[in-house]
Copies of this chain bind each other. A is one copy, B any other.
Amino acid sequence: MYNQSISPSVIKRLPRYYRFLEDLEAAGMTRISSAALSEKMGITASQIRQDLNCFGGFGQQGYGYNISSLKVEIGKILNIDKTKKLIVIGVGNLGKAIASHINFEDKGYELIGLFDKKEAFIGQTVRGLPVRSIETIDDFCREHHPSTAVLCIPKDNAKEIAYKLVKLGIKGFLNFSHYDLSLTYDNIVVENVHFGDQLMILSYNINNLEN
């Protein structure tokens, strides 16, 4: 219902609002003004009002925002209130880190399967789940219908497995593989993670620091 009016740049900022609201709620606060939220988040109060007005405006002049309601509403917009089944492909150091440390439930996901092709990993337990052989992925997906996959595999292996996963109904990818999925497939959505790109941006910014 919100879809038509919200620009991608506002959507990109919503998770950060969500995190800050979670922290404020955990700290026992119930209301916050756009001015106070502005100071905490390091963005202008007018930006905040503008962003949050995009989907109806949860603030009341003079009373600020109700933290819990605002968090719930942002969660609904982000579709966090509906659980999506997620699998992790590749359980090397990176896959293990992802599987172990991310609070999937808080983001609307349920981790239901871990897969690798390496014999030594198969059968290991990560976050209470057994690592399965990648050979069994077809049957698993047909039975459990995951919608989302985290690709923690090298670029060279990603092409083949991505082709398979798209055919098996995976719609969303968190992609660490450097293989450019979104250039190959149309009806999927991808979030790419490129640490190398961020290191290059950092390199530029370090060079442009004053003093």
Q: Which residues of A contact B (CB under 8 A)?
A: 3, 11-12, 14-16, 18-19, 40-42, 77-80, 82, 84, 92-94, 96-98, 100-104, 106-109, 147-148, 171-174, 178, 180, 182-183, 187-191, 193-211
Contacts and interface: CB of A to CB of B under 8 A. Distances in A.
Q: Report, nearest first, the 8 A-B pairs whose CB atoms are least far apart.
A: A93-B97, A15-B197, A94-B97, A189-B205, A79-B207, A15-B200, A191-B198, A172-B206
A109 B98 CA distance: 25
- Count copies of this chain in the complex: 2
Given A147-B206, A203-B79, A205-B172, A183 B42 contact: yes
Contacts of A147: 206
Which residue among A42, A188, A197 has the maximum number of chain B CB atoms within 10 Å of its CB?
Answer: A197
B101 A197 contact: no
A11 B200 CA distance: 10
A58 B100 CA distance: 46
A98 B193 CA distance: 12
A182 B78 contact: no
A150 B193 CA distance: 15
Contact of A201 (B11, B201, B206, B209): B11
A11 to B, nearest CB: 6
Given A79-B207, A108-B199, 10 more contacts: A11-B204, A79-B206, A80-B203, A103-B196, A106-B196, A108-B203, A173-B202, A189-B209, A191-B202, A191-B205
A109 to B, nearest CB: 6
Contact of A191 (B12, B173, B201): B201
A7 B57 CA distance: 31
Contact of A202 (B41, B42, B174, B204): B174
A42 B97 CA distance: 31
Given A94-B93, A174-B195, A196-B103, A78 B203 contact: yes
